[in-house]
Amino acid sequence: MEGNNKLRSIPSIDRLLSIASADKEINAYPRELVVACLRQVAAEAREALRLNSEQECSPAALLVEAREMLSRCSRPSLRRVINATGVVLHTNLGRAPLGRRARECVTDVMAGYSTLEYDTETGGRGSRYAHVSEQLCQLTGAEDAIVVNNNAAAVLLVLSAVTKGREVIVSRGELVEIGGSFRIPDVLRQSGATLVEVGTTNKTHLSDYEQAIGPNTGAILKVHTSNYRIIGFTAQPDGRELAALAHRYQLPVIEDLGSGTLLPLAAGGQTEPTVAERLQLGFDVVTFSGDKLLGAGQAGIIAGKARYVAMMKQQPLLRAVRIDKLSLAALEGTLMEYVLGEPEQTVPALAMLTIAEDILKERAIQLTRLILQPELSGLTAEVVPLSSPAGGGALPLAALRGYGVAVNMPGMSADKLESRLRQRNIPIIVRIQEERIIFDVRCLVETDMEEIAAALSEIWRPGA
Ligand SMILES: *Cc1c(COP(=O)(O)O)cnc(C)c1O
């Protein structure tokens, strides 16, 4: 009985609307949206009342809820975050950030029309693949190259074009699973090829490959163990010998290089093979990601012998996995950094992976200073040495040494503070270590550090 009375205390939508009509903030939204939000807020209040009769449901309380709901409508779900995890190629946070030239290329192309498939020399149709193929050949030594949506699509396209209906030989140590259910055996099946496993988890010899070659073999596939390493008592044949073996039987060697890097890169005591090195060994086709160590946006790059790339251009599947103009612009702008500039400085992912420890320490000291402004007294913030992975299926054993700031807010648990930082308009993503919030400074720029200090002061002294 009492519950029913309570339910009746929820104001009607008409009443809420008439109160809201005097509210400037709410009035800025279209009436239909406001009505929909008020209905939802009232429905939620009714539900909450059923569960807990103490629920506050005055018009004022409901309008506060409605205002919050409306402001969420005008805030994109896909939006910028501040990455204070120290993981440079954080897949969940969008992998590689773009450099200046890449951003300019994207901006230039996105608002209007472009030369996407238009040849300004002839005035006729051009190819979207032509924009970057020359640079890719120059940077990798490949005869030809083509770019698709992502590396997963690149692997599928290569296998569909080159090995459909045939057997593909893969070492048991390389049957990789990448996050998001990309598994080499499944991708092979999807492409219409048959997997032939050879060797063991830790050792595969050249003779294992040779014994598996038969009349229906279509290719030898190497898969880079991007996100793990098999260490200890291990063996894989030398790449040059493997390529020579395949060529003796007129077979191609294809490699899914995953995080393929264009430059020799050493970070955290580990290196990754360059695309050029692999092609030099005699590998026929190499595929790799645009947004891992290369440092551009999402893309899958296929580089290698012209006759195989030509087979891919014939594939109907190519249309289904084609790259869009914004990603292509980001890739071209990034490749320009490699061709024209000093990519270790101008491609943000490379710069962050190779930045010197003393610069990070300096940055951590600066962040500590910003955090410990006088009005934040009571907070503790301390520079701490850290070690972080590269992320994004690259350099899996690398421990990148760096610095960060450990923060403790008296009266608030680390879990609570982490969630407050995460739920802001500009979320700040951190990790927790020994009950303290850790801001790793590796991926932060100056304005991020100011935002972090502002966020802490908002949370520490709400309304101050
Ligand atoms: C990352 C990775 C992929 C998938 O690349 P995406 O660009 O994320 O699609 C495939 N194979 C390997 C070995 C990888 O490391």
For residue 110, CA distances in Å to 114, 176, 227, 291 come to 8, 36, 34, 19
Taking 60 as the threshold, does the pLDDT of residue 339 lie above it? yes
Partner residues linked to 384 by β-bridges:
404
- The encoded tokens of residue 361 equal 């320490």
E strands along 207-324, which residues?
Answer: 217-223, 253-258, 265-267, 270-272, 285-289, 300-304
Pocket flag, ligand 1, residue 204 (CB < 6 Å): no
The whole-number average pLDDT for the span 165-178 is 95
**DSSP collapsed to 3 states, 162-199:** HHCCCEEEEEHHHCCEECCCEEHHHHHHHHCCEEEEEC
- pLDDT-derived band at 1 (thresholds 50, 70, 90) equals very low
Q: For 62-102, how does the pLDDT look when each residue is reduced to its tens digit (9 = 90+)?
A: 999 999 899 888 899 999 999 999 999 999 999 999 999 99
Pocket flag, ligand 1, residue 297 (CB < 6 Å): no
Q: For 5-20, how does the pLDDT look when each residue is reduced to its tens digit (9 = 90+)?
A: 677 788 889 999 988 8
Pocket flag, ligand 1, residue 187 (CB < 6 Å): no
Per the prediction, the chain carries an average pLDDT of 93
- 347 secondary structure, DSSP code: S
CATH number of this structure's domain 82-89+353-460: 3.90.1150.180
- 392 secondary structure, DSSP code: T
Domain boundaries, the chain: 2-73, 82-89+353-460, 99-346
Nearest alpha carbon to residue 177 among 188, 192, 193: 188
Q: Which of 255, 256, 298, 301 to mutate to test the pocket of ligand 1 (most atoms within 8 A of CB)?
A: 256
For residue 440, CA distances in Å to 326, 364, 420, 429, 450 come to 30, 8, 17, 10, 14
**What atom in ligand 1 is closest to the CA of residue 289?**
7
| Per-residue model confidence (pLDDT) at position 35 | 93
Separation of 157 CA from ligand 1 center, angstroms?
13
| Per-residue model confidence (pLDDT) at position 4 | 63
- pLDDT-derived band at 3 (thresholds 50, 70, 90) equals low
Distance in angstroms (rounded) separating the CA atoms of residues 400 and 440: 11
| Cα-Cα-Cα-Cα dihedral sign, residues 407, 410, 413, 419 | negative
Pocket flag, ligand 1, residue 275 (CB < 6 Å): no
Separation of 186 CA from ligand 1 center, angstroms?
14
At residue 418, what are phi and psi to the nearest 5 degrees?
Answer: -60, -40
Report the topology of domain 99-346: Aspartate Aminotransferase; domain 2 (3.40.640)
What residues have CB less than 8 Å from 409, skipping those under 6 apart? 379, 417, 437, 456, 459, 460
Nearest alpha carbon to residue 416 among 400, 402, 399, 436: 436
